[in-house]
């Protein structure tokens, strides 16, 4: 599944091996996209449309989002 954030020119994509309800995956993508847009994007260093730095500690945020999503299932 994927989600395009046109205003940010970013594509979020997830690949999974289990068969899950697609609505569940859409919820997860929405949660990730929202978090990235509001928490990560403002902190990125962008020069000429190219991202120059990426937060190195996003893994902890990702795990937090995944746990919140799994609690909703």
Residue that wins the pLDDT comparison between 20 and 31: 31
pLDDT at 21: 64
Q: Specify the pairing of strand 46-47 against strand 10-13.
A: unpaired
Q: Could you tell me the CA-to-CA distances from 7 to 46, 60, 66, 69 in Å, in that order?
A: 15, 25, 24, 25
Q: How open is the CA angle 67-45-37, to the nearest 5 degrees?
A: 35
The arithmetic mean of pLDDT across residues 31-39, rounded, is 89
Q: What is the pTM of this model?
A: 0.69
Would you state the structure tokens that stand for residue 26, as one six-digit string? 């859409």
Q: How confident is the model at residue 70 (pLDDT cuts 50, 70, 90)?
A: confident
pLDDT at 19: 63
Model confidence at 22: pLDDT above 80: no
Pairwise CA distance, residues 52 & 49, whole Å: 9
Pairwise CA distance, residues 28 & 69, whole Å: 6
């Amino acid at each position: 599944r994927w989600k395009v954030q046109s205003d940010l020119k970013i594509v979020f994509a997830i690949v999974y091996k289990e068969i899950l309800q697609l609505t569940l995956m859409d919820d997860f993508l929405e949660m990730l996209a929202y978090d990235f847009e509001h928490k990560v994007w403002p902190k990125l260093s962008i020069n000429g449309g190219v991202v120059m730095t990426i937060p190195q500690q996003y893994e902890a945020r990702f795990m937090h989002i995944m746990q919140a999503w799994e609690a909703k299932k």
